[in-house]
Amino acid sequence: MEAQTGTEMGATQPDNGSGTTRGYNFDDQRPPKPNQGILVHYILRFVAFLLTFISAVVLGAAKETVVSSNSTIENGIIKSTQFAAYVYFIIANVVVFIYSLVSLMLSIANRGVLGRFTVPLSIGDLIMIVLLYSCNGAAAAVSILSDNGQLSTGWNSICTVLSKFCASIKASIVLSMFAGVIYLLFVVFALVGNQRQLQIR
């Protein structure tokens, strides 16, 4: 009678004190589970890329024609590029848009294992937070003044006349704020990951 190998029937190991044997099946190799954290990382970076792109395009194209004697309107057309805060908003979102694309490509190329890119990307994410929150604050301040006006300084409300223009501004700011929240999550995740590594060590 031929002996059956351990790989066919499973190797046995005596159980201390009980006299029974315990079988191990070496052929039972389960496929590794996909890393869901890496997939979420890809999705968030793509969403940040998309949000900043749409935000910059919508605000950059925001304009409306109106008949008014307001000094801020040139040739009957008001544009977002006539406001310094909105120009800063557009530039900042374009910078974050380019960074989001580059960081996403690096993440995909390295299959989520960034290695030496981990620290530079964390620093870059923190810089993107500063850019987004600062430009959102500046654009939101001008948007509030445009919507409500400020009689003490002679700034009249223009959103009652330029409703389409103001709606585009508000939509851009909201999208950019969501992108800022995503980058804030990146920094939080990096801090939590570093803390776990320190606890393991």
- Domain annotation covers residue 11: no
pLDDT tens digits, 17-69 = 555 544 444 444 444 444 666 788 889 999 999 999 999 999 999 988 876 65
- Collect all residues with Cβ–Cβ distance below 8 Å to 86 and sequence separation of at least 6: 59, 62, 80, 139, 142, 169
Q: Report CA-CA distances (Å) from 38 to 47, 49, 113, 158.
A: 14, 17, 9, 46
Residue ranges of the chain whose pLDDT lies below 50: 1-13, 21-34
Q: Cβ(124)–Cβ(114) under 8 Å?
A: no
| pLDDT of the residue at 170 | 94
Q: Determine the Cα–Cα distance for residues 140 and 95; give it in Å rounded to an integer.
A: 19
Task: Identify the CA nearest to 143 among candidates 132, 159, 129.
Answer: 159
Number of structural domains the chain divides into: 1
| pLDDT of the residue at 188 | 86
- Domain annotation covers residue 84: yes
- Domain annotation covers residue 14: no
Q: Which residue(s) pair with 24 in the sheet?
A: 11
DSSP annotation of 153 reads G
Q: Is 122 left (phi over 0), alpha (psi -120 to 50) or beta?
A: alpha
- Domain annotation covers residue 1: no
| Domain, as residue range, for 166 | 36-200
